[in-house]
A = this chain, B = another copy of it.
Amino acid sequence: MRNVIGWGLIGGGEDSQIGEAHRIAARLDNCFALAAGALDIDPQRGRAFAGELGIAPERAYGAWRDMLAGERDRPDRVGLVTVATPNATHFEISKAFLKAGFHVLVEKPMTMTVGEAEALQAIAQKSGRLLAVNFGYTGYPLVRQARAMVQEGDLGAIRIVVAEFAHGFHADAADAGNPRLRWRYDPAQAGASAVLADAGIHALHMIGYVTGQTITRLSAHFQSCVEGRQLEDDALLALDYSGGTTGRLWTSAVAVGQMHGLSIRIFGEKGGLRWHQEQPNQLFWTKLGEATRIVERGDAKLYPDAAAASRLAIGHTEGLPVAFANLYRDIAAAIHAGSTAPQGLPLAADGLEMARAVDAAARSAAEDGRWMAL
Q: Say whether B173 contacts A269, CB under 8 Å.
A: yes
Q: Say whether A248 contacts B236, CB under 8 Å.
A: yes
Q: Say whether A1 contacts B221, CB under 8 Å.
A: no
Q: How large is the interface on A (under 10, 10 to 19, 20 to 34, 35 or more residues)?
A: 35 or more
* Shortest beta-carbon contacts, A-B, top 9: A260-B315, A257-B286, A259-B315, A256-B272, A317-B319, A257-B272, A319-B319, A159-B225, A291-B293
Q: Does A261 reach chain B (CB closer than 8 Å)?
A: yes
- Complex partner residue of A257 from B21, B221, B271, B281, CB under 8 angstroms: B271
Chain B residues in 8 Å Cβ range of A273: 257
For A23, A159, A172, A279, the residue with the greatest tally of chain B CB atoms inside 10 Å of its CB is A159
In the bound complex, what is the Cα–Cα distance between A278 and B124 (angstroms)?
Answer: 41
**8 extra interchain contacts, Cβ-Cβ under 8 A, other than A292-B293, A317-B317, A318-B321?**
A27-B27, A159-B223, A160-B255, A171-B288, A248-B250, A256-B268, A257-B267, A279-B317
What 1/0 flags go to A181-200 for Cβ under 8 Å of B? 00000000000000000000
In the bound complex, what is the Cα–Cα distance between A136 and B370 (angstroms)?
Answer: 36
Q: Does A350 reach chain B (CB closer than 8 Å)?
A: no
Closest to A252 in B: B160
Chain B residues in 8 Å Cβ range of A335: none
- Complex partner residue of A1 from B24, B54, B295, CB under 8 angstroms: B54
Give the Cβ gap from A143 to chain B, nearest Cβ, in Å.
12
